[in-house]
């Protein structure tokens, strides 16, 4: 008989678990994992390449393990005329998933619990499991929202050591109010983490959870460069919090966890933040176009502040998913009955998806049901 995973002395709480499993199918239009499908502008890419070239000259030496210059760059990026974020408040790692993992290594673990509100980012519960932290799912309100009262009641009922919020929420795109975050913080003595991976796609007049940091020493705001900065392949995530939280993460991080090349590339990209964020405006236009045109087709797209759209009213999500593949388009079937999720791409990619949906809908009228 073949030797399998189940034959190994793996931890009991990991038996039966499945790894992260977004399909990796090569198609012409990939709109399934919320990437920024716009390429990095040529001038920005040239500057990044030059910065990496310079870093290579001393790559025989360990990098700055405090990634000082990167923290200063990220602090400058997050600071506004009304609020200065200090470099001492910044932590970074190889993607926001590693940031979250380090947070759980420091504040979670065996005998401790994490409260979240599914459907939400799948890696929250998976990283909790990987660190031996108990995941507690709580109910959302109608249309995937979370009111301050609902959130605070869940915290008071379960008394978790950490609370994970996601705003805008993945996979629904749902906004998260500052009032809900504040209510959760007031209801717990534990760590409250707000995952703002899609913050740059929120309306420009809506404040980030970063504005709540002053006076809230247990609040953590996680961000990523994967989405707005088109840096998914570079793996750079970060958080802003009280310096004491950063000190806690130093206790669990691996030595020199951010390579010199990663640091150099991220600093160079941040130098071009206005140009990089110009892509965000284009993506928001396509996102809103998806909402409008899916609604005209009879589907139920949800309000979204992210770079993707969750839409209901699909009687057989797997059949529509497969039909889209025949058009060389891939979206995401999340296992939410009657729903699919699609990322907003370039104008051409968005058109390819919408044209395919119109053709599929016309040929299979039963794909639409009441959401």
The residue extents of the domains of the chain are 22-40+275-367, 42-271
Pinpoint the alpha helices (H) of the chain: 42-56, 68-78, 96-107, 122-130, 148-158, 178-187, 243-250, 260-271, 273-296, 317-326, 347-363
Give the mean pLDDT of 182-204.
97
For 118: left if phi > 0, alpha if psi spans -120 to 50, otherwise beta; the answer is beta
User: Using an 8 Å Cβ cutoff, are 30 and 330 in contact?
Assistant: yes
pLDDT score at 370: 61
Q: 41-86: per-residue pLDDT in tens?
A: 999 999 999 999 999 999 999 999 999 999 999 999 999 999 999 9
The CATH number of the domain covering residues in 22-40+275-367: 3.90.1150.10
Per-residue pLDDT for 4 more than 70? yes
pLDDT score at 15: 86
Share of the chain above pLDDT 70, in %: 98
Q: 16-45: per-residue pLDDT in tens?
A: 888 876 677 789 999 999 999 999 999 999
Per-residue pLDDT for 117 more than 90? yes
pLDDT score at 53: 97
CB atoms within 10 A of CB 45: 14
Give the mean pLDDT of 332-345.
96
Q: 293-306: per-residue pLDDT in tens?
A: 999 999 999 999 99
pLDDT score at 107: 98
Per-residue pLDDT for 7 more than 90? no
* The model's pTM: 0.93
Mean per-residue pLDDT of the chain: 95
pLDDT score at 6: 86
Q: What CATH topology corresponds to 42-271?
A: 3.40.640
Angstrom distance (rounded) from CA 62 to CA 83:
34
Give the mean pLDDT of 232-236.
95
Angstrom distance (rounded) from CA 16 to CA 253:
28
Give the mean pLDDT of 205-233.
96
Reported confidence tier of residue 208, pLDDT bands at 50, 70, 90: very high
Share of the chain above pLDDT 90, in %: 91
User: Using an 8 Å Cβ cutoff, are 191 and 199 in contact?
Assistant: no
Per-residue pLDDT for 358 more than 90? yes
Give the mean pLDDT of 320-345.
96
Q: Any residues with CB less than 8 A from the CB of 167 and at least 6 apart, and which?
A: 174, 175, 176, 181, 194, 195, 196, 209, 305
């Amino acid at each position: 008989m073949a030797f399998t995973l189940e034959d190994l002395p793996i931890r009991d709480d990991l038996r039966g678990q499945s790894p992260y499993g977004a399909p990796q199918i090569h198609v012409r239009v990939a709109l399934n994992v919320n990437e920024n499908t716009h390429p990095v502008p040529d001038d920005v890419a040239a500057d990044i390449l030059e910065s990496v070239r310079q870093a290579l000259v001393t790559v025989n030496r360990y990098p700055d393990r405090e990634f000082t210059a990167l923290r200063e760059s990220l602090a400058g990026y997050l600071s506004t005329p009304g609020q200065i974020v200090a470099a001492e408040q910044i932590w970074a790692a190889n993607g926001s998933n590693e940031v979250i993992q380090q947070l759980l290594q420091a504040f979670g673990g065996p005998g401790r619990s994490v409260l979240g509100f599914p459907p939400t980012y799948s890696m929250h519960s998976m990283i909790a499991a990987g660190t031996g932290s108990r995941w507690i799912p709580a109910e959302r309100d109608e249309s995937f929202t979370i009111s301050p009262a609902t959130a605070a009641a869940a915290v008071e009922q379960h008394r978790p050591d950490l609370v994970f919020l996601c705003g805008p929420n993945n996979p629904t795109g749902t906004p998260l109010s500052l009032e809900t975050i504040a209510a959760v913080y007031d209801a717990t003595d534990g760590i409250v983490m707000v995952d703002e991976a899609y913050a740059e796609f929120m309306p420009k007049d809506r404040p980030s959870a970063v504005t709540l940091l002053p006076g809230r020493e247990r609040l953590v705001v996680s961000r990523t460069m994967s989405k707005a900065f088109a840096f998914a392949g570079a793996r750079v995530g970060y958080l802003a919090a009280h310096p004491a939280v950063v000190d806690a993460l130093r206790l669990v991080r691996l030595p020199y966890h951010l390579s010199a090349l990663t640091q150099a590339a991220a600093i160079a990209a941040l130098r071009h933040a206005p140009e990089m964020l110009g892509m965000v405006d284009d993506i928001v236009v396509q996102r809103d176009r998806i909402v409008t045109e899916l609604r005209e087709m009879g589907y139920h797209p949800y309000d979204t502040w992210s770079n993707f759209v969750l839409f209901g009213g699909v009687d057989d999500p797997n059949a529509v998913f497969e039909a889209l593949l025949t058009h060389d388009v891939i979206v995401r079937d999340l296992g939410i009955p009657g729903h699919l999720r699609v990322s907003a791409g370039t104008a051409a990619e968005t058109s390819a998806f919408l044209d395919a949906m119109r053709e599929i809908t016309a040929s299979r009228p039963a794909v639409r049901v009441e959401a």
